[in-house]
Chain A
Amino acid sequence: DIVMTQSPDSLTVSLGERATISCKSSQSVLYSSNNKNYLAWYQQKPGQPPKLLMYWASTRESGVPDRFSGSGSETDFTLTISSLQAEDVAVYYCQQYYTTPPTFGQGTKVEV
Chain B
Amino acid sequence: GAVVSQHPSWVICKSGTSVKIECRSLDFQATTMFWYRQFPKQSLMLMATSNEGSKATYEQGVEKDKFLINHASLTLSTLTVTSAHPEDSSFYICSARVGGRYNEQFFGPGTRLTVL
**Co-complex (A, B):** no
